A and B are shown apart, each in its own frame.
Chain A
Amino acid sequence: MKILVVGGGTAGTIVANNLARRLTAETRSGKVHLTMLSASDRHMYQPGLLYVAFGQMTPDQLYRDQASLLEPTIDFYVDPVKKFMLDKNQVMTEGGKIHNYDILVIATGSRIVPDETPGLTEGAEFFYTEESAVKLYKRLREFQGGRVAVAIGVPHKCPVAPVELMFSLHDYFKARGIRDKVHLKYYYPIGRIHTIEAVAKWAKPEFDSLGIEYETLFNIKEVDAKNKIVKSEEGIDVEYDLLIVVPQHRGMEVIERDNLGEGGWIPTDRHSLAMKGHDNVYVVGDTTNLPVSKTGSAAHFQAEVLAENIASIVKIGAPVRDYDGKIYCFIEAGRDRATYSMFDYETPPDLKPPSKPMHWFKLSYNQMYWTSVRGLL
């Protein structure tokens, strides 16, 4: 049986490693072949980008060689898919190679598309890539005071990042002794300051006590970079000195090009994680169209369920678990406090007060991630 994992991010890597361990005997005997195709020979710990933006990590600390993270029974190729041929159970790579499969796992992830918002690339800073995070850090370092506007594109990866950014900005400017010279304002797409009600209820008084202003129902329409004005779909114009955005995301181009899913998000069964209409194709992580957060945490929990199910399909011919929507997100509340949000399809998030130990746990997790992505944690 040939199992092909397309994508070497958090979801794809955990699925592949978890499968390799569950199917050790089958891969050694040649009954199962595990293959991964990825666009890169490096693996990035993406949550670290926020720390890079504030000078708390350097980019080299975010990467490991992808091959070093994978079980040796996984055939790994840096050769991304150019075309999915689901009717033939085949994919064709950019390198021109055809891979056949019996089971396909699509974990191609998401990408930022700042160019889809007029003026955004010219007028705004962001931190969702290595280059942009370093650039933002340099902008922050030279900033001496003025209006900092933070606005959020939809959809976006890591929904707690916007509030983490605000707390980090506050603490950063405070540490530099210029907080009183900085007008910090947060613009959020829906009618409260975070989509998770419990996070909104917690963050609002925190923002108030720290002097962080906010405006809700603000969706970025365009940026006038020359005059430093960000305009919303709702008809609001905001002048700024420094604009920081969480850019709008899409799925990967190949997903849209091959008509696998509108916006690059593949229609996926919320429990089995099967691609709708395809029994032998599964989707994990950001690539799904599920109404769940696009985060490493969702990718992690989905990947564990999927790997267990595929291994069970190999061994007994049937899956054994449903994905229940589980997500666990750390929320940094500045430079020395953190809390977390945990929920699933049925259970709403219940936020705990931020604490230093939770921040230390988050810092530890920044290293433990490499154990997690190997499928050990």
Chain B
Amino acid sequence: MSEAKIIDARDTFCPGPLMELISYMKRANVGDELELLSTDKGSVNDVPEWIAKVGHELISSEQVGNVWHIKVRKTK
């Protein structure tokens, strides 16, 4: 498995971390891992909510300092 592609969406209000993730997800291949970096604590909830609704896979979510690292896999 290749390394997760990092999406640096720290310190951004528009288009915002989830919108950045959706944008990258559209270009990713099935099976690709993406790691979203966000300083928006709302990402902890809104990213898993979208991932679950679409049916992608949430691999992990952890806070390091003031940055949330949310790793997902494209499944379809």
Contact across chains for A349 and B15 when beta carbons are under 8 A apart? no
Contact across chains for A217 and B15 when beta carbons are under 8 A apart? no
Q: Mark B11-29, 1 if CB is under 8 A from A, else 0.
A: 1111111111011001100
Contact across chains for B12 and A233 when beta carbons are under 8 A apart? no
Alpha-carbon separation in the docked complex, A195 to B19 (Å): 7
Interface of A is mostly: loop
B34 within 8 A of A: no
Alpha-carbon separation in the docked complex, A191 to B54 (Å): 12
Contact across chains for A293 and B50 when beta carbons are under 8 A apart? no
**Chain B proximity of A205: nearest CB distance (Å):** 20
- Which residues of chain B are within 8 angstroms of A348 by Cβ–Cβ distance? 13
Which of B11, B17, B22, B49 is in CB contact (< 8 Å) with A189? Answer: B22
B9 within 8 A of A: yes
List B residues 39-68 near A (Cβ within 8 Å). Answer: 42, 46, 49-50, 53-55
Alpha-carbon separation in the docked complex, A294 to B73 (Å): 26
- Which residues of chain B are within 8 angstroms of A263 by Cβ–Cβ distance? 23, 27
Contact across chains for A159 and B13 when beta carbons are under 8 A apart? no
A140 within 8 A of B: no
Contact across chains for B14 and A327 when beta carbons are under 8 A apart? yes
- Which residues of chain A are within 8 angstroms of B49 by Cβ–Cβ distance? 191, 217
Which of B11, B13, B26, B46 is in CB contact (< 8 Å) with A190? Answer: B46
Contact across chains for A195 and B11 when beta carbons are under 8 A apart? no
Which of A155, A217, A234, A343 is in CB contact (< 8 Å) with B13? Answer: A343
- Which residues of chain A are within 8 angstroms of B26 by Cβ–Cβ distance? 154, 248
**Chain A proximity of B50: nearest CB distance (Å):** 6
**Chain B proximity of A220: nearest CB distance (Å):** 10
| Interface core residue of B10, B18, B23 (most chain A CB under 10 Å) | B23
Interface, chain B (partner A; CB < 8 A): 8-20, 22-23, 26-27, 42, 46, 49-50, 53-55
Q: List 25 A-B contacts (CB under 8 A).
A: A154-B22, A154-B26, A190-B19, A190-B50, A191-B18, A195-B19, A196-B13, A196-B14, A196-B16, A197-B13, A217-B50, A234-B53, A235-B55, A263-B27, A291-B8, A291-B9, A291-B12, A291-B17, A292-B12, A292-B14, A292-B15, A325-B11, A345-B11, A345-B12, A346-B11
